[in-house]
Amino acid sequence: MRPSTLKDTLLLFDSTLSMIYPNIKTLLIILATLPVTTVIVEKSFSTLRHIFGDFRACMNVERVSDLALLSWHDKMTHELETKEVIEVFNQKGRRF
Protein backbone atom coordinates (compact mmCIF):
# COMPACT_ATOMS: atom_id res chain seq x y z
CA MET A 1 0.00 0.00 0.00
CA ARG A 2 1.44 3.34 -1.05
CA PRO A 3 0.38 6.38 1.02
CA SER A 4 -1.23 9.22 -0.92
CA THR A 5 -1.02 12.04 1.64
CA LEU A 6 1.57 13.28 4.10
CA LYS A 7 -0.69 12.25 6.98
CA ASP A 8 -0.88 8.69 5.62
CA THR A 9 2.89 8.67 5.21
CA LEU A 10 3.38 9.74 8.82
CA LEU A 11 0.99 7.08 10.09
CA LEU A 12 2.63 4.36 8.03
CA PHE A 13 6.10 5.50 9.00
CA ASP A 14 5.17 5.72 12.68
CA SER A 15 3.85 2.17 12.73
CA THR A 16 6.73 0.56 10.84
CA LEU A 17 9.97 2.51 10.56
CA SER A 18 10.10 5.18 13.26
CA MET A 19 12.36 3.12 15.52
CA ILE A 20 14.87 2.52 12.74
CA TYR A 21 14.85 6.05 11.25
CA PRO A 22 13.96 8.55 14.00
CA ASN A 23 15.47 11.51 12.10
CA ILE A 24 13.30 10.81 9.06
CA LYS A 25 10.23 10.88 11.32
CA THR A 26 11.32 14.27 12.68
CA LEU A 27 11.80 15.57 9.14
CA LEU A 28 8.33 14.39 8.11
CA ILE A 29 6.76 16.12 11.13
CA ILE A 30 8.57 19.37 10.25
CA LEU A 31 7.40 19.08 6.64
CA ALA A 32 3.83 18.54 7.83
CA THR A 33 3.81 21.73 9.91
CA LEU A 34 5.81 24.02 7.61
CA PRO A 35 2.93 25.02 5.30
CA VAL A 36 0.80 26.05 8.29
CA THR A 37 3.44 28.39 9.70
CA THR A 38 4.07 29.86 6.26
CA VAL A 39 0.39 30.65 5.81
CA ILE A 40 0.20 32.32 9.22
CA VAL A 41 3.18 34.56 8.44
CA GLU A 42 1.77 35.49 5.03
CA LYS A 43 -1.61 36.34 6.56
CA SER A 44 0.07 38.50 9.22
CA PHE A 45 2.06 40.49 6.64
CA SER A 46 -1.01 40.88 4.45
CA THR A 47 -3.02 42.18 7.41
CA LEU A 48 -0.33 44.68 8.38
CA ARG A 49 0.06 45.88 4.79
CA HIS A 50 -3.70 46.46 4.65
CA ILE A 51 -3.71 48.36 7.97
CA PHE A 52 -0.70 50.51 7.14
CA GLY A 53 -2.26 51.71 3.88
CA ASP A 54 -2.56 55.50 4.12
CA PHE A 55 -2.46 55.86 7.89
CA ARG A 56 1.12 54.84 8.62
CA ALA A 57 2.35 58.26 9.78
CA CYS A 58 -0.48 58.99 12.20
CA MET A 59 -0.68 55.72 14.18
CA ASN A 60 1.31 54.63 17.20
CA VAL A 61 2.43 51.06 17.79
CA GLU A 62 -0.38 50.26 20.23
CA ARG A 63 -3.07 51.32 17.77
CA VAL A 64 -1.51 49.31 14.94
CA SER A 65 -1.35 46.28 17.23
CA ASP A 66 -5.00 46.69 18.21
CA LEU A 67 -6.09 47.06 14.58
CA ALA A 68 -4.08 43.98 13.63
CA LEU A 69 -5.83 41.95 16.35
CA LEU A 70 -9.24 43.16 15.19
CA SER A 71 -8.42 42.30 11.61
CA TRP A 72 -7.00 38.90 12.53
CA HIS A 73 -10.10 37.96 14.56
CA ASP A 74 -12.60 39.35 12.07
CA LYS A 75 -15.13 36.56 12.64
CA MET A 76 -15.46 37.53 16.31
CA THR A 77 -15.70 41.25 15.53
CA HIS A 78 -18.64 40.65 13.18
CA GLU A 79 -20.55 39.17 16.12
CA LEU A 80 -20.18 42.36 18.21
CA GLU A 81 -23.19 44.61 18.67
CA THR A 82 -22.20 47.98 17.21
CA LYS A 83 -24.50 50.01 19.47
CA GLU A 84 -23.03 48.41 22.61
CA VAL A 85 -19.47 49.10 21.46
CA ILE A 86 -20.31 52.75 20.77
CA GLU A 87 -21.97 53.13 24.20
CA VAL A 88 -18.93 51.70 26.00
CA PHE A 89 -16.62 53.93 23.95
CA ASN A 90 -18.71 57.04 24.76
CA GLN A 91 -18.72 56.26 28.50
CA LYS A 92 -14.92 56.30 28.64
CA GLY A 93 -14.77 60.04 28.03
CA ARG A 94 -12.68 62.12 25.71
CA ARG A 95 -9.20 60.99 24.73
CA PHE A 96 -6.33 63.30 23.83
Percent over 90 (pLDDT), the chain: 0
**pLDDT given for residue 90 in this prediction:** 86
Task: Give the pLDDT confidence of 59-95 residue by residue, as tens digits.
Answer: 777 877 787 888 778 788 778 888 888 888 888 877 6
b/e code 51-78 from CB counts within 10 Å (16+ = b): beeeeeeeeeeeeeeebbeebeeeeeee
The model's pLDDT over 30-57, given as tens digits with 9 standing for 90+, comes to 877 777 777 777 777 777 777 777 566 6
pLDDT of residue 38: 73
Cβ neighbours, 10 Å, residue 36: 9
pLDDT number for residue 57: 62
Residue 55 has what pLDDT?
63
User: Domain-by-domain residue ranges, the chain?
Assistant: 6-91
